[in-house]
Amino acid sequence: MSTLKSAPPETETKPNPEEAASVIDTSKMNEGQRAALELTEAAREAPQERRSFVGGLFMGECDFKSVFPFPEQTPHDRDQGDAFLQRLEQYLRDHVDPDAIDRTGEIPDAVIAELGRMGAFGIKIPTQYGGLGLSQTNYSRAAMLLGSYDANLTALISAHQSIGVPQPLIMFGTEEQKKKFLPRVAKGEISAFALTEKGVGSDPATMTTKADPTADGKYFTINGEKLWCTNGVKAGVIVVMAQTPPKVVNGKEKKQVTAFIVEMDTPGVEVTHRCHFMGLRALYNGVVKFTNVVVPRENIIWGEGKGLRVALSTLNTGRLTLPAGCTGAAKRCLQIVKQWSNERVQWGAPIGKHAAIADKIARMAANTFAMESMTLLVASMVDKNKKADIRLEAAIAKLWGTEEAWRIVDETMQIRGGRGYETADSLKARGEDPVAVERLMRDCRINTIFEGSSEIMRLFIAREMLDPHLKVSGAALDSRKPAGERLQAALKAGLFYAGWYPKQWLPLGSALPAGVPGKLARHLRYAVKTSRRLARRLFHAMAVHGPKLEREQVLLGRFVDIGAELFAITATCSRASALMLQGSDEQKAGLLQLADYFCASARLRIDRLFQGLTDNTDRQGYQLAQTVLGSSVRPLEDGIVQEPDRGG
C-alpha cells in the first residue's frame, strides 16, 4: 500500500489557528461555546491579502473592478456547456416525470443510469479522470436547469458532486486518490458526505464518531453513527468526518476532525434507516452506522486533523449549487405565475392586472434576476481564479438566494390560489393543468436549512465581516491579555482608525465602471455611499458593544443583510448592463426596468435595515423568548390538546 503524500491542495490558503484564536476573547464563554468556537476558528481559512468584493463593502470600499464588466463565458466554455445542457434538458423532458418521482419516492434506476452515461455525475470532474471537465459556471447552469424541473434530481447530483467525493478530492485529493476514485464517481457511482450526527447539527465540536489509528498506524477504525446522509442509501463511496486522536498544541489538547473516504461495502458499514421528509420525497437519505470499520490511512483527505477545513472549503463552493437550483425553481414559478395571471380572470380582469398580484409578480421577477446574477457572478469568480476568496460572496448567494426562493414559491402559491394548494395529481384527475406548486413548495423549504442554515450563514458572514476589525482591535479588547499588551494594541488600533474612520465620512467616490446606463449608475453611486455608511455604523456598533457585539446576533444579521443587498444591487447592475449591450430595444427596456425596480426595492429594504440598527425590539424580544422558554405563560398554553408527557 502506498503511503499518503499530501498533494498541495488547489485552493489551499494559509490557516493560522493561533492568530485566529488570538482575535476573539473566549474567556467569558462557557465550555461548549469555547470548544465550538475554537474548533471552527482553527478550521477557518485565513482571508487572503486582497479583500474580496463583499469583504470590501463592509469596510467602506466598493471596488467595482472585480465585478464589472459582468464576466462573459468564453465561446468555447459556453459551447461546451450548451452541448451538455441540451442533452440534459431533452432527456429530462422526454424521460423524467417529477410528479411520479415525488409520488413513488423513487428515482427510476434507468434515469440514474442515463444521467451517469451522459456525465451528469462528473460535470466538474476533469476529463483526465473521466469527467466532463466543465466549468463552475456550466455546473451552475446545470443545477439551474435541474432545479427548474426536479428538486430530487438536483439534490442527488448536488450531494454527490458539490459535497460528496468529487469536490473535496478535486480540491484536496492526492493524485493516487484522484486516479482511484474520480473515474468511478464520474461515471455514476453515487457518493455522499457524512458530517451530521444526532448531536452535531451546526456545531461540529460535539462530534462523537471516532476514528482510532491501529497500532501500526496504517489503518483507522471508525465507530459511530451519521444522520441525514443524502445519497447514503445508494452510495458506493462516501466522505466521513470523524474525530481522530487530539493533538497537544501549546500544552492544550486540541480536538482533531479528519475526513475519510469510506467504501460503503466495507464490513461494518450499515444503512440502518432511510429518512423521509416533507419534500424531496425521493431523497436517498439515511442513517449510516459504522461499527469497527477499518479504513486505510491512504483514504484520509488532505491530512489528519484537516477534516473540518476540508468540509468548510468544500462547502464554500459546494453551496453555490443551492442558489443555482433555487434560480431554476424561481424561473419555473415565474413561468407558472405568468401564465396563470394572464389567463385567470376574477372581478372582471386577469388577476395580473390587480395591483396586489402585480406587486408580487414584479418582486418575483426582480429577485429572480438578482439571484441569477449573483450566482453566475460568483461562479465566474471561481472559474477565473480557483484560489479566489469567494467565501462571503458564495455565502450571501446561498443565504439570499434560498430565502428569496422560499418567498417566491410562497407568492406563487398565493397567486395560484386554491389550485396552488392542490396536488398535481388531483388537478389532473379533475381535468386541470397539473401544475405542481404544492410539490415545489415542499421541495423548496429545506434550502434555508441545509448546507449552512440561514442563521449559521449570517453568523459566518458576520465573523468574516468583523475580521478586519478583530485583527486591528481584538487584542486591545481581549481580557486574557496582559494590560501592557492591550495598551500597545489599543495604540496601534487608534492609529489605524485615525486614518480609516474619517475616510468613511468623505464624499470620495470609487470610480464608477464604464458602460453602465444612467439609471443604474445612480444605484451604483448609492452602493458606494452606502458601503461607507455600513462601515461607519458597524464601527459604531463595535464601539458601543465591544466584544459583546459577537453575541448581538440579530443586530449583526442586519449588517449582514445590508451587505447582501448591496452585493445583489451590484451584481444586478453589472449583469443588466452587460446584457443591455445586445438585444432589441424592447429587450433592453425590459432589462432596465427589471434592474431599476430591483435596486429601488433593495434600497428601501436597506433603509429599513439601517433604521432597525437603532430602532428595534431586539433586547425585549430576547427577554420575552427566555420568559416563554423558561416559565409558563398560561394564556399561551391553555386551550389546546396537551402533549403527553414525553418523560424528558
304, 422, 451, 552: which is the annotated catalytic residue? 451
Q: At what angle do helices 391-416 and 437-444 cross, to 10 degrees?
A: 150
Going by the DSSP 8-state scheme, the letter that residue 300 receives in this structure is B
Q: Of 177, 92, 204, whose CA–CA distance to 452 is shortest?
A: 204
User: Please, are residues 378 and 394 in contact by the beta-carbon 8 Å criterion?
Assistant: yes
| Residue 607 CA to its chain's centroid (Å) | 25
Beta bridge partners of 238: 192, 262
Cis peptide before 644 (omega within 30 of 0): no
Grid cell 444591487 is found at: 569
Closer CB to ligand FAD, residue 7 or residue 456? 456
Kindly state the smallest distance separating residue 458's Cβ from ligand FAD, in Å: 8
Q: What whole-number distance in Å separates Cα of residue 83 and Cα of residue 85?
A: 6
Kindly state the smallest distance separating residue 277's Cβ from ligand FAD, in Å: 5
Q: What's the one-letter identity of residue 508?
A: L
Cα dihedral sign, 608-614-620-621? positive
Maximal C-alpha separation, the chain: 81
Kindly state the smallest distance separating residue 409's Cβ from ligand FAD, in Å: 17
Q: What whole-number distance in Å separates Cα of residue 189 and Cα of residue 129?
A: 14
In three-state form (DSSP H/G/I as H, E/B as E, the rest C), the secondary structure along 49-87 is: CCCCHHHHHHCCCCCHHHCCCCCCCCHHHHHHHHHHHHH
Closer CB to ligand FAD, residue 34 or residue 338? 34
User: Please, are residues 69 and 515 in contact by the beta-carbon 8 Å criterion?
Assistant: yes
Rounded to the nearest 10°, the torsion over CA 234, 235, 236, 240 is -150
- Give 232's contacts (C-beta < 8 A, 6+ positions apart): 192, 194, 226, 238, 271, 284, 285, 286, 287, 288
Grid cell 480609516 is found at: 500
Kindly state the smallest distance separating residue 318's Cβ from ligand FAD, in Å: 11
Is 89 one of the annotated active-site residues of the chain? no
Closer CB to ligand FAD, residue 288 or residue 594? 288
Closer CB to ligand FAD, residue 277 or residue 501? 277
Q: What whole-number distance in Å separates Cα of residue 159 and Cα of residue 193?
A: 7
CA angle 579, 580, 585 (to 5 degrees): 130
* Chain residue whose CB lies nearest ligand FAD: 201
- Give 52's contacts (C-beta < 8 A, 6+ positions apart): 66, 388, 389, 390, 391, 392, 393
Residues of this chain that interact with ligand FAD (CB under 6 A) are: 159, 192-196, 201-202, 228-230, 277, 280, 283, 285, 446, 449-450, 453, 455-456, 459, 553
Name the residues annotated as catalytic. Answer: 451
